[in-house]
Amino acid sequence: MMAKSSKSQEEIANKAIQHALKALRKRHLAEEGAHAPAFEALSRPIASQGSEWKEKAENLQLELQQCYKAQSRLSEQLVVEVAESRAAKSLVQEKETAINDLQKELTELRDECSQLKIDLKEKIQALELVVSENTELKAQLEQMTLKAKNTEAENKMLVDRWMLEKMKDAERLNEVNALYEDMVERLKASGLEKLARQQVDGIVRRSEEGAEFFLEPTNPSTCKYRLHAHEGGCASALFEYNSSKLITGGQDRSVKVWDTNTGSLSSNLHGCLGSVLDLTITHDNQSVIAASSSNNLYVWDINSGRVRHTLTGHTDKVCAVDVSKMSNRHVVSAAYDRTIKVWDLVKGYCTNTIIFYSNCNALCFSMDGLTIFSGHVDGNLRLWDIQTGKLLSEVAAHSQAVTSISLSRNGNVVLTSGRDNLHNLFDVRSLEVCSTLRATGNRVASNWSRSCISPDDNYVAAGSADGSVYIWSVSKADIVSTLKEHSSSVLCCTWSGVGKPLASADKNGVTIR
């Protein structure tokens, strides 16, 4: 296609040159015709010089021929240059088109380069952030690794100490058992077996304060009163020491005192800002302490009905509380912030805090007031030193969460209840299971379902989610009765210290037997 275009352009140029040559010849002939008369007029006067002029004319003719030849060469050169000019012009147009395309491509590449620079800047910033986070994580990992090593070493040391103490306890237990057997044999021979049992167990009930009020517990069978105690349900109940007065706490944020002889309300303690999850009372029956879902503990003077202290420090709901059996001053509480706190009621503030990874649902003091029993969500029963806050011992009590802990009157047995629907009796000295109480249909209703031991340590009472209250014989580990007076889940049971009555509470009210 390009060859044809070039050939047509050359033909057009040749035609143009030929046309120009014809025009020049015509012009030359016209000029000769115009000059011919003058030439003749001039030639007459100078006939004598004809030969000279003839020579000059020949010379001029020769020069004219040379001019024609030069003109022909110039015409040919002009044709060539015109062709070259056209070719050059075509090439320039192609180059301009290529330049425009390249310029457009360059603009696109510049835009792409700018976007890539922006992306690169963002990637660099993200990389710097990741590097800084990685550095922080490395530092934290190093700290955690060091802490884990220290904890492992401390744990190993504690395990060694625990094994040593366990061996010492076993030796002491063997000595005590030997002394016990020797004492029983000697006292049997003298006819004082009953007194020996009382002395070895640490119980001489007639020497206790209020022993004249003590009655042997009876196995309750009938309902004496039904009390609509609290709106929303009653989660905690207990009796005053050596008294038949019942204290209850419920979800309506109130604590009430009832006379179980008449079934009437004696007093109402106000001031709690959350649901009452657990209750305890000092041994002089002067102060009631409530554990609340408002993260606080409330201490009332039971005679005046006024709040003496509001104990603050927990950061989550307080679910368990107990007061020392040796002193009315020391109180221990557990909350769902994974802490156990020891309080001084005289000073009104916390004296020690125990931190543990598993939440505590229930706790109580030992008889000597130096040890705390705690039941946890992981199912373990743990013993703590109240002064140092150190873990003394630990045993797997239940396969699911522990919901209740009760100490026997003699202090030798601790009762635990769990969400696995079992009730275990542990020997405090060896932390071995003495007996396991179970019943078909018995289902523990909540993480804070409270069971209890009778004042003579012969019976255990526990409520069930089906509204029943089961009573077991400790010695036989069998059910002696099943009480069905509730229409909803039973949340707690408590036995009066004077032998009767037995009170149980559910989501609707309180039943006294």
Rounded Cα–Cα distance for residues 502 and 499 (Å): 8
Where exactly are the structural domains of the chain? Answer: 39-171, 225-512
Provide the token pair at 499: 């032998």
Cβ atoms of residues 182 and 419 within 8 Å: no
Query: Tokens standing for 306?
Result: 């006024």
Give pTM, 2 decimals: 0.59
Give the per-residue pLDDT at 164: 78
Residue 408 contacts residue 457 (beta carbons within 8 Å): yes
Across 18-22, 129-133, 153-157, least confident range = 18-22
- Mean pLDDT for 278-283 is 94
Place of tokens 């001053």: 329
Three-state helix/strand/coil letters over 346-412: CCCEEEEEEECCCCEEEEEECCCCCEEEEEECCCEEEEEECCCCCEEEEEECCCCCEEEEEECCCCC
Reported CATH class of domain 225-512: mainly beta
Q: What is the pLDDT of residues 247-265, one digit of tens each?
A: 999 888 999 999 988 888 9
What is the reported pLDDT for 38?
64
Percent of the chain with pLDDT over 70: 85
Q: Is the peptide bond before 217 cis (omega within 30 degrees of 0)?
A: no
- For 468-484, the DSSP string reads EEEEEETTTTEEEEEEE
Is residue 491's pLDDT more than 80?
yes
- Given a cut of 80, whether residue 455 has pLDDT beyond it is yes
* Greater model confidence, 450 or 448: 450
Structure-model confidence comparison of residues 37 and 78, the more confident one: 78
